[in-house]
Amino acid sequence: MLLKTFGWSFAVTAAGLALAGVLWGWQGLAVVAILSVLEISLSFDNAVINAGILRKMNPFWQKMFLTLGILIAVFGMRLVFPVVIVAITAKLGPIEAVKVAVQDHDRYEQLVTSAHPAIAAFGGMFLLMIFLDFVFEDRDIKWLAWLEKPLARLGKLDTLSIVVSLVALLIAATTVATSVPVHGGSGTVDKTATVLLAGVGGLVTYLIVGGISGFFEDRLEDEEEDGEENEENGAALPQKSGASVVGLAGKAAFFMFLYLEVIDASFSFDGVIGAFAITNDIFAMALGLGIGAMYIRSLTVFLVRKGTLDDYVYLEHGAHYAIGALAVILLITIKYEINEVVTGLIGVVLIGLAFFSSVLRNRRESGTGNGSETKAEVATGV
């Protein structure tokens, strides 16, 4: 099971480190290895979130996530995306942007870092919406009941997550974005308009991609419920003007796949920016972060196949709280620098606490022999 799931990750790691050693020697090999660990630590919560979505998809789309998805993650987000950002922000042509990335590493670093406020605002708003929609939803299983119960009551207001996100964006735009330090120089620059535009873009992207995937998912669930009712009544499921369960599932899975890729993109922003603290070589960066992305993909599939999220029910809660923390950190880093170690540790600690709470819950339930919560669980929310 382990080798089957992580086999490609092990193979890519061996090939990637060998290539790094040939191209850049022992120093390059060390840089690529460090970047791989950085990506895994920063995106561990991403694997848990992805697993919660991926388990709803059929084996075909799970394979697409590991094949086409990894190509998008490695070559798209870690190699092509930073160059596109450079081309847009510096108003360069595609060929010139590629030349800067390959030949002028210092200027490439400066241009990508200068685009960080827009990247952080876009990714921060997208991740914040994921977090808010999670905590504002009334769930049967609650981790921090003292916090999640009142938030679920507030969540009955349908647009509350959008309102809270827009308020957070306005606060960020009128505080940290008004005086962003100039990279590699002295003084500050006002990025208010840039942050507002990028933040609204992240919000709109979430509403479009998440809304469409949610729509088709609800349609699919309704179709399955109708089918179960008809089977119980001994009747055949009526077909609707060319729409079938297979076709509907395909649409739902397709938009969920897009949703997964946007989530991965939002998580990759801080990794790409943080990688410049280690190297400004675009190829070493893509190689190291790509190896890390492979492990996140494999870990996602491992969690799905092992049913880990069903066994440890608070893991999704911990991952979503980590997402909320990352969203806030991204908005803060518009002006202030926060070490990537801090960002990674916050996610690991929250997921670790959620895992420990899940273990305690499972022990309590196995001890009582039923699924009812004990007084201690009610009091602590565990």
Kindly state the average pLDDT of the residues 299-320.
Answer: 86
**Average pLDDT estimate for 84-89:** 81
Segment 294-316 mean pLDDT: 85
Instruction: Give the residue-averaged pLDDT of 185-206.
Output: 88
What's the pLDDT score for residue 226?
58
Of the listed ranges 102-116, 212-226, 321-335, the one predicted with least confidence: 212-226
pLDDT at position 72 is 82
Write out the DSSP string of 188-254: EE--HHHHHHHHHHHHHHHHHHHHHHHHHHHHHHHHHHHHHHHHHTT-PPPPBTTB-HHHHHHHHHH
Percent residues over pLDDT 90 in the chain: 17
The mean pLDDT of the chain is 80
Say if residue 268's pLDDT is above 80: no
Residue 272 pLDDT > 80, yes or no? no
The span from the CA of 122 to the CA of 128, in Å, is 10
pLDDT at 240: 42
Q: Write the CA distances from 345 to 271, 310, 340, 351, integer angstroms.
A: 14, 24, 8, 10
For the ranges 100-104, 137-141, 377-381, which has the lowest average pLDDT? 377-381
pTM of structure: 0.78
234 pLDDT more than 90:
no
Q: Which token pair is 13?
A: 């790691």
Residue 370 has pLDDT above 60, yes or no: no
Packing angle, helices 340-368 and 315-332, rounded to 10: 160
Over 80: is that where the pLDDT of 237 sits?
no
Measured CA to CA, the distance from residue 307 to residue 211 in angstroms comes to 26
C-beta separation of 50 from 262 below 8 A: no
Assess whether pLDDT exceeds 90 at residue 182: no
pLDDT band (50, 70, 90) for residue 241: very low
Q: What is the mean pLDDT of residues 98-106?
A: 87
| Percent of the chain clearing pLDDT 70 (strictly above) | 84
pLDDT band at 222 (very low <50, low <70, confident <90, very high): low
Beta carbons within 10 angstroms of residue 343's beta carbon? 22
> Is residue 51 within 8 Å of residue 251, measured between CB atoms?
no
Q: What is the mean pLDDT of residues 289-318?
A: 86
Q: What is the mean pLDDT of residues 10-36?
A: 89
* Span 132-149, pLDDT tens digits: 999 999 888 889 889 999
